[in-house]
Every structure is written in C-alpha cells, then in structure tokens.
Chain A
Amino acid sequence: MSTVWLVVLVVGVATVALKATGPVLLGDRTLPEPVARVVSLLAPVLLAALVVTQTVGGDNELVLDARLAGVGAGAAAIAARAPLPAVVVVAAAATALVRLVA
C-alpha cells in the first residue's frame, strides 16, 4: 500500500472513531449529576479554545495576521446584535480587506 493510502485510511478510521466516542459509548444514557455539570461546560470551553486557535493559531507558533481584524470586526457586529450570517460575512470582508491593504 502506498504511503498516501495508508495515511488516508488510518486517519479516516481514527476520526470516525473519535466522532463516535460520545454517541456510541454514551448514547442517550443519563449522566450522573457532577459529570453532566462538567459536560455542560464543554460548549463554552471548546468554543473559546476554537476562537483562540483559529485566530492566532499557527504551526507551533502564534501568528498575528489579518484574521485578528476579521475577529475584531465580527465582535463589533456581534455587539451590534447583527444576525449570525452577517457576522460571518463582515468578518470575512474585514479579513480580506486588511490582507489586501497590508
């Protein structure tokens, strides 16, 4: 088997298993109260981590680039109570604009 296919198959199977972790192992079982409290914080915590890594993440380094302007403009749109699709469009436009000028 070629290297490419080996990588594609191993990563594919591993990712399928990772995404199935919760739904297959836990399903609709009710979690014990303390565990449920921990799990309910997963959304804010992982979203915050995604905001950080997608804004300044690089390959083993912090990268400060036009994405910062996009998130800044997106934050302003959020503060102005813009609907979600508008936030996405404003952020992309600001990122593209800063990248064009810089």
Chain B
Amino acid sequence: MSSIASSSSAAGGYRQGVRAAVAVAATVWFFGASFGLVARAAGMGVAAPLVLSATTFAGSAQFALTSILAGSGSAVAAIAAAVLLNARYAPISISVAPLFHGPRLRRLAESQLIVDESWALSSRGDGRFDRRLLIGAGLLLYAAWLSGTAVGVFAGKALGDPKALGLDGAFPALFLALLVPQLRSRKATLAALLGGAIALVLTPLTPPGVPIVAASAACLLGLRRDEEAA
C-alpha cells in the first residue's frame, strides 16, 4: 500500500483518496447523527435541522448556532457565529476555483460539495487539487452528513456519543496527514508554520472561526519570488 508521503503518482494518490474518503464519511455520518440529535433536543424540530444540513453542510457552524439557539441566544448571535465559522470557505473555495468549469449555475451547484474534508482529501500536495476527488468525496460526505442528520433527528438516542468513539480526535489527525505532503518547499513549510501560529495565538482571543480566516494572511509569503517548490 502506498504511503502518504510518497504517493506522488496521481493514480495511487487518487485510490488512496477514495479509501480515505470512505473512512472519513463514516466519521462524518456519526457527527451528522449527533447534530440531528442535538438540534432536535434544542427544540429546532425535524425539518429545520435537515434543511440546515442540506444547505450549510458544515458541521462546526451548525453545532455552534444550535448551541446558541438552545441557550436562548439571539438570532443575530447565532447567525454571526455560524457565518464567521464558515468565512474560511471564501479562501478555501478560491484555492480550488480552477477545478470548476462551465455555466455559472453549474459552478454554483458543484461548489456546494466543498467542505473541509472533501477539499483536504482532493489536495495533491503541490498546491493543486484533484477535481474527481473533490466532487466524489464531496458527494459521499454530503450523503453521509444528510443521512446522519436524518437518523439523528429521528433516532439519535440509540447511537453512541461520537466523542466516546474519539472521532473528534480523528479530524485534526486527518488534516495533519494531508498537510505533510504539502510541505515540499521551504516557503510552504514557513507559511504553514506561520498560519498555524496565527491560529494558535488567536484561538483564546477571538470567537471560533476568526483564527482560521486570519491565518490565511500567511499566504502573502507567496508574494516573495525567491524560491520555487523543490
């Protein structure tokens, strides 16, 4: 089986990406189920959590707005927190923009399959992305998130707690595994370290969501022309 660090062949990387997408989809399904359960318990009813999962398709923002509504916070507070958390999708979607072709409406529809995990899995490690993996993993994760939400809304209590299964520790490890092959040049490594440092410093100081958006400023290192990818 090919390793992550040496999966330079596109086909090997693609196959591994598909396998990884299945493992990640199982994890995402459990989180969707726990979202459905939490949202129902928070008094959001049946339809609203499903519509939210279908349109927003971003776990952290959905959990955040649910907890604010459950704590009888205002609509403005819930909206602000969720939009802030999803603001990272502006830079994320810009990074994969070249993969989208055709009429605007089609690009709009396909872009909704962008989610942290499908984006990360489709990364080829040289700053470029694989369209088939992004769309394929996106469809699989969308189905997992929506069906998980449905099961959670109707029968969530019968399922285990994703935290007891350690699933919240799986996501950062996945992102780390996908980060490592990106660090091919000194500049990319430097930018990643700077971005991570910005996120770490801002985490205790700002609302969730802000650290990731602020970290993207580290990309400006790319304006320096000195060294190309090794």
Contact = CB atoms under 8 A, between A and B. Distances in A.
A45 B218 contact: yes
A43 B123 contact: yes
Contacts, number: 345
A14 B2 CA distance: 40
A49 B5 contact: no
Interface in B142-185: 163-180, 182-183
A8 B51 contact: yes
Given A23-B97, A42-B91, A50 B4 contact: no
Contacts of B75: 3, 6-7
Contacts of B205: 60
Contact of A56 (B97, B191, B203): B203
B4 A60 contact: no
Query: For this complex, into which size category does the number of interface residues on chain B fall?
Result: 35 or more
Given A11-B79, A48-B195, A51-B179, A92 B167 contact: yes
Interface in B199-222: 199-200, 203-208, 211-212, 215-216, 218-222
B199 A48 contact: yes
B177 A74 contact: yes
B199 A49 contact: yes
Interface of A: 3-16, 18-30, 34, 37-62, 66-67, 69-71, 73-75, 77-78, 81-85, 87-97, 99-100
Given A16-B108, A30-B98, A41-B221, 17 more contacts: A3-B75, A7-B65, A7-B79, A11-B56, A20-B111, A22-B90, A22-B94, A22-B97, A26-B98, A41-B219, A42-B219, A46-B216, A82-B4, A88-B177, A91-B166, A96-B164, A99-B166
Leading 9 A-B pairs by shortest Cβ distance? A70-B169, A74-B173, A95-B169, A96-B166, A12-B55, A95-B166, A40-B127, A91-B173, A22-B97
